[in-house]
Chain A
Amino acid sequence: GESVGLHLPTLSVQEGDNSIINCAYSNSASDYFIWYKQESGKGPQFIIDIRSNMDKRQGQRVTVLLNKTVKHLSLQIAATQPGDSAVYFCAENIDTGGFKTIFGAGTRLFVKA
């Protein structure tokens, strides 16, 4: 079936440390993945994306890794800051003639000062 899920529901890190948030997906035909950040009471905010022909993509303080062999995504946040505290979702774009974005379960990141 089509699903995207996460290994860890919560993650607590010390300010300044690196964070790694993991995600598994099941649709091997998916070719585009996105990480979103959601703060309380707000809509998801785009962080970074990656296409299936890549295995790594870097942004500002964030890196997404894609392992198609085991259908696994991860989001790495360097030097985590209190403002990074939020829920993070991986999402998968499924092409059904147009496309739709299906979300995983989410991981809540707590950053301890």
Chain B
Amino acid sequence: GAVVSQHPSRVICKSGTSVKIECRSLDFQATTMFWYRQFPKQSLMLMATSNEGSKATYEQGVEKDKFLINHASLTLSTLTVTSAHPEDSSFYICSASRGGQGAFGAFFGQGTRLTVV
């Protein structure tokens, strides 16, 4: 199957600082990438959908100015958590898709554990 890599796998940052998480598709061109957040013992909640070269589409309730998404190339999307606070501590997971209309399930990265202290 396709490989999607996230970096870093774990990060601890101080409250008020910003953190960038990278998501790379290693062996295919991802026209669409998705960012999810997962709190302990809960499901994955979709935060936003990013298409290469265009602005991300955010889900209802997700602050676009706090969670900055950039999808500058077909193999890389980044999520920046700005002015992080302890409540932003979570497991962030990206997925990448070749595109198409429902033809493919997306491939997931291994996740990034963010802890804000």
Residue contact B102 to A31, C-beta cutoff 8 Å: yes
Residue contact B49 to A100, C-beta cutoff 8 Å: yes
Q: Which residues of A contact B51 (CB under 8 A)?
A: 98
Residue from the list B44, B46, B109, B113 in contact with A89, Cβ < 8 A? B44
Residues of B3-39 at the interface with A, using a CB-CB cut-off of 8 Å, are 4, 6, 32, 34, 36
Interface of A, helix, strand, loop or mixed by DSSP:
strand
Q: How many A-B residue pairs have CB under 8 A?
A: 63
Task: Count chain A residues whose beta carbon lies closer than 8 angstroms to a beta carbon of B.
Answer: 24
What are some 20 contacts across the A-B interface (CB < 8 A)? A41-B91, A41-B111, A42-B111, A43-B4, A43-B109, A46-B108, A49-B105, A93-B105, A98-B49, A98-B99, A98-B101, A99-B102, A100-B49, A101-B34, A101-B46, A101-B105, A102-B46, A103-B44, A103-B45, A106-B43
Task: Count chain B residues whose beta carbon lies closer than 8 angstroms to a beta carbon of A.
Answer: 30
Residue contact B105 to A43, C-beta cutoff 8 Å: no
| A30 CA to B93 CA, complexed, in Å | 23
Residues of A2-51 at the interface with B, using a CB-CB cut-off of 8 Å, are 31-32, 34, 36, 41-46, 49
Q: Does B106 contact A (CB under 8 A)?
A: yes
Q: Which residues of A contact B70 (CB under 8 A)?
A: none
Nearest-Cβ distance from residue A48 to partner chain B, whole angstroms: 10
| A49 CA to B43 CA, complexed, in Å | 19
Residue from the list B91, B100, B105, B113 in contact with A46, Cβ < 8 A? B105
Residue of A nearest to B109 (CB): A43
Q: Which residues of A contact B93 (CB under 8 A)?
A: 43-44
| A96 CA to B99 CA, complexed, in Å | 12
Q: Which residues of B contact A93 (CB under 8 A)?
A: 102, 105
